[in-house]
Structure 1
């Protein structure tokens, strides 16, 4: 299939393996995704890459000082491009990719795939606004995060209020926490 035929929302959502390359990375980041025709597809947005994730990953790679020595969490990681790029820079203290329970099997497979290339990430469950999930993440991470990432998570009807509650809960113990949210207005999704 031609590359342009696989593009949905200006992103290749049909290829079973995504490859993210950047000159700041020792090796490209290869991640599995499960498009709508894949047996591993999970309805919603968590099984495939979205365009802003790649842009955010490039942004982080061009500014490794944002990640260096920091504890990083990605909210609504989906396939995990953003958090994986942060981890692949090999300068973060710790990187955790989070999503809802249905997305965790894919994130775990991508964690294993990255480990084969000596890139370490952790995977955690986070239902936005769930105090129990937030507490579990905080407990395992010295009580907070220095950098909170979220890409392609602001979509009409996707519990933005709960997302905000999780950001506040995960950031409140670190007054200098940086929050980066990537968003693309998609007229067809409102």
Structure 2
């Protein structure tokens, strides 16, 4: 299985903060091979992995990652961004939401933030820890974050020991910049 550079950076951020993870409720959205969620679970977090309910193969990959890492306690659920489903409604409040490279297609940005905002209403102190690969200078979350009353802090990769040159290497042509964000509700909405 190929693990995208964004997943590696987010996993490294989790490892850097491993002391704060035991007992935390963590949800990974768009989990794929689930590297960040697996690291969080190995560090003592109570993890739920999710991927699209419309893509059962993705959910099978999450299940396989749990099996390969001996993590039978990690729950895997289908969540489709922007859809209110029974699985979304049944989720307990989360402390941390993980999202590795989910901000891939601009047409999905609002659906992702709609789902995250719903979860933030259950626990206004929850944070979205997200990494993404910069693909276009024209794509920005800023207007949508403002619309959903959220704020964003950019985390320098070197602040948690990530060497972007080494981590973000890819077989794809060109240089790939990975960004680390912590998104939360704006103070006005708390």
TM norm structure 2 = 0.64
Q: 1:183 aligns to what?
A: 132
Unmatched 5+ residue regions in structure 1?
A: 1-32, 34-47
Contact 2:47 2:75 in 1 (8 A): yes
RMSD across aligned C-alpha pairs, in angstroms?
2.1
Matching of residue 131 in structure 1 with residue 84 in structure 2: yes
Q: Which runs of 4+ in 1 moved over 6 A?
A: none
Which structure shows the higher helix fraction? 2
The 3 A distance-change label for structure 1 pair 176 and 65 is farther
Q: How far 1:157 sits from its partner (Å)?
A: 3.9
| Structure 2 residue 29 is the aligned partner of structure 1 residue 60 | no
Q: Does 1:70 align with 2:24?
A: yes
Alignment coverage as a number of residue pairs: 135
Q: Which has the higher contact order (CA 8 A, sep 6+)?
A: 2
Gaps of 5+ in 2: 140-190
Match for 1:97 among 22, 31, 49?
49
Among 120, 143, 168, the alignment partner of 1:171 is 120
- Once residues 54 and 158 of structure 1 are traced to their aligned partners in structure 2, the CA distance between those partners, rounded to angstroms, is 25
